[in-house]
Amino acid sequence: MSIQRIKTPCVGLCSTVYGDLVCRGCKRFHHEVVNWNLYGDDEKRAVWKRLEVLLVQVMMAKLEVFEPLRLRGQLEQRQIRFNAEQSPYCWAYQLIARGSRLIQNLEAYGVALLPEFRDWPLPDLRDAIDREFFLLSEAHYERYIAPRFLREGMDLRV
């Protein structure tokens, strides 16, 4: 992240208001959504970094960014918002998320689907990526965050 004000990962589809512990839109944890404006820059960067690591994991299992400069140029030309400081695999996610119904040839953007996904329609792939990203975020919450909250709520003076 740059020295400029760190923006929120919010994508305007917040499900935490309906009781989800992990937002189905941005994949942040409920307490991160609620406390975002109270966080310092280091805390915000840590959230962004976790989201990036999980998303890159999902994306690398489905495609290859073989020409990142071409991808970046195409995103800029088409005015698709992306974070230039993140991995090109996050850029590819933005491309697919925003253009899955319009893209005819993904390789023209410097991106190639792995063989097992080449026959998938891009809207279906987009949905599968989003679902897997959510499931990884949820698993991360359950593994690393929820147990701490449970322990903090327990009275250890038996």
> pLDDT (tens digit, 9 = 90+) per residue, 103-119?
999 999 999 999 999 99
Per-residue model confidence as pLDDT tens digits over 40-61? 999 999 999 999 999 999 999 9
* DSSP 8-class letter at 64: E
Kindly tell me if the per-residue pLDDT of 156 is higher than 80.
Answer: no
The alpha-helical segments, DSSP class H, found in the chain are: 30-35, 41-60, 68-77, 88-99, 122-140, 146-153
Give the orientation angle of helix 88-99 with respect to helix 41-60, to 10 degrees.
Answer: 70
For residue 13, the model assigns a pLDDT of 85
Torsion, Cα of 35, 27, 76, 58 (10° steps): 150
Query: Using alpha carbons only, how large is the chain's radius of gyration in Å?
Result: 17
Q: What is the pLDDT of residue 15?
A: 86
Give this prediction's pTM: 0.88
Contact 58, 114 (CB under 8 A): no
Q: Band of the pLDDT at 1, cuts 50, 70, 90? A: very low
